[in-house]
Amino acid sequence: MSETTTSSAQQGKILDGITVLDLSTFVTGGFSSAMLANLGAEVVKIEQPGYGDAIRHSGPPFIRGESPYYWTVNYGKRSVELDLKNEQAKEALYELAEHADVFVQNYRPGTAERLGVDYATIKEHNEEIIYLAISAFGQTGPWAKRSGYDLLIQGMSGIMSVTGEEGRQPVKVGLPITDLITAMWAAFGATSALYRRELTGEGEYIDLGMLEATLPWLTKQAGQVFADETPTRMGTKDPVLAPYQTFETADSYLNVCILNEKLWHELCAVIDRPDLPADDRFETNADRVAHQDELEAEIEATLGEKTTDEWIEIIADEGGVPAGPVYDVDEALTNPQVEARGAITEIEHPELGTIPVIEHPLTFEHTESGFEMPPPLLGEHNREVFSDLGYTEDEIDEFENMGVFGAQDGGTDE
């Protein structure tokens, strides 16, 4: 390989040359295809004419009519409006599918068949397609045809039963966590299937349900159930480690993470509490877990004497013990570590000027990653995408006249 070729390969992205058709709405499919876009895939977002992905309308807040929430799930994509009730639009979709590598949808089971975009139909046009069908409960089972969203899955997966404070009502995680969990499985499944296709030449159908996507993340709580214990809500405390929780300081809150006896003794030394390890209630981790309320009272009494910043310097910077502040979201996005790592960047938006971008965290030594395009305006790439397929301007004009990009009463069936 020549030096020029080697340099070019190193400057590319892992998924360069991969095309993704994303018919999904909201987060599960959208975040997964954004992950693929970050690694170089060309993602074409197929949207309902005149309305688009429902996440475009999620808010407030809005910035000049645009939803910043929508941005975070759709960096790096192109948008095409297709009225899937229009036969010409459906044929146009099939032609896009012929040139695609991955096809993503998150319809309720049965809807894809009704629209003519199910796996069997798409496979007729592209036998090597990687087809990803995301739904709340998967394509089979007694609940398959139920609709479902993050809140429902948080409840049914057990997450809410262990989130919140003892004796109070269950609490959902403040993020759409099961949407994001499912999205990451989706991206992992798609890239795994692409790798298998490289080895076998065969396409793949992936059936992904949000409920079962979430269950592997239960880890320690599942371990408790396997040991015939019942996980409970514990606030910020941990069922198997102590102290591993949030403590109140003189001015805010501090997280302390003690995973072994060495760290326990180091913590007690730096906060000047050598009496704690000598106390029979706190000698071992098992002892501390059994006496978490008493342990919390002892440690919080000491931590209340100084501010969080003062304790961070003492415990984390000087003592080397895992501890950190509880940031609000603005602080999480703007602190020195995040800035040093380039985790938040900027990109030019066609109507809003410069907008912020939350970059994805994979940093490769031998290949690039990162978003190169802003989240698209609705239908921004209607003509461009088909022009890239070789359609003439007159042919694209005819598409418009036939209502391919939006009939008078068009729109996809959600």
pTM of this prediction?
A: 0.93
In which domain, by residue range, is 204 found? 3-217+341-401
pLDDT confidence of residue 312: 98
What CA–CA distance (Å, rounded) separates 97 from 1? 33
Number of structural domains, the chain? Answer: 2
Tell whether 206 and 350 lie within a shared domain: yes
Structural domain contains residue 36:
yes
pLDDT confidence of residue 414: 41
Mean pLDDT of the 152-170 span: 97
Structural domain contains residue 204:
yes
Tell whether 141 and 98 lie within a shared domain: yes
Structural domain contains residue 414:
no
Mean pLDDT of the 127-144 span: 98
Mean pLDDT of the 92-120 span: 97
Place of tokens 């004796």: 167
pLDDT digits (tens, 9 = 90+) for 379-401: 999 999 999 999 999 999 999 99
Tell whether 321 and 346 lie within a shared domain: no
In percent, the amount of the chain with pLDDT more than 70 equals 95
Is residue 77 very low, low, confident or very high in pLDDT (cuts 50, 70, 90)? very high
Tell whether 116 and 195 lie within a shared domain: yes
Tell whether 21 and 97 lie within a shared domain: yes
Domain CATH number, residue 31:
3.40.50.10540
Structural domain contains residue 100:
yes
Asked about 150 being catalytic, the answer comes back as: no
pLDDT confidence of residue 11: 67
User: Of 325, 355, 376, which residue is a domain's last?
Assistant: 325
One-letter identity of residue 36: L
Q: Are 239 and 231 in contact (CB under 8 A)?
A: yes
Structural domain contains residue 332:
no
181: closest CA among 153, 160, 205, 222? 153
What CA–CA distance (Å, rounded) separates 217 from 220? 9
Q: Which residue has the higher pLDDT, 413 or 86?
A: 86
Of the candidates 16, 150, 179, 388, the residue annotated as catalytic is: 179
pLDDT digits (tens, 9 = 90+) for 136-147: 999 999 999 999
Residue 409 pLDDT > 80 = no
Tell whether 315 and 393 lie within a shared domain: no
Domain CATH number, residue 319:
3.30.1540.10
Residue 412 pLDDT > 90 = no
Tell whether 18 and 130 lie within a shared domain: yes
Place of tokens 């020029």: 4
Structural domain contains residue 93:
yes
pLDDT confidence of residue 10: 52
109 Cβ partners below 8 Å, 6+ apart? 133, 135, 138, 139, 144, 145
Query: 10 Å Cβ neighbour count for 36?
Result: 27
- Three-state DSSP class for residue 212: helix
Tell whether 16 and 135 lie within a shared domain: yes
pLDDT confidence of residue 343: 97
User: Of 325, 355, 380, which residue is a domain's last?
Assistant: 325
pLDDT digits (tens, 9 = 90+) for 214-262: 999 999 999 999 999 999 999 999 999 999 999 999 999 999 999 999 9
pLDDT digits (tens, 9 = 90+) for 251-299: 999 999 999 999 999 999 999 999 999 999 999 999 999 999 999 999 9
Structural domain contains residue 412:
no
pLDDT confidence of residue 8: 40
Tell whether 300 and 368 lie within a shared domain: no
Q: Are 81 and 47 in contact (CB under 8 A)?
A: yes
pLDDT confidence of residue 218: 97
pLDDT confidence of residue 9: 43
Tell whether 314 and 351 lie within a shared domain: no
What CA–CA distance (Å, rounded) separates 405 from 392? 16
pLDDT confidence of residue 413: 41
pLDDT confidence of residue 80: 98
Tell whether 42 and 185 lie within a shared domain: yes
Place of tokens 């959902």: 172
User: Of 295, 325, 355, which residue is a domain's last?
Assistant: 325
- Measure the N-to-C terminal CA separation of the chain; round to a whole number of Å: 49
Residue 3 pLDDT > 80 = no
Structural domain contains residue 222:
no
pLDDT confidence of residue 321: 98
Tell whether 212 and 307 lie within a shared domain: no
pLDDT digits (tens, 9 = 90+) for 327-371: 999 999 999 999 999 999 999 999 999 999 999 999 999 999 999
Average of per-residue pLDDT values in the chain: 94
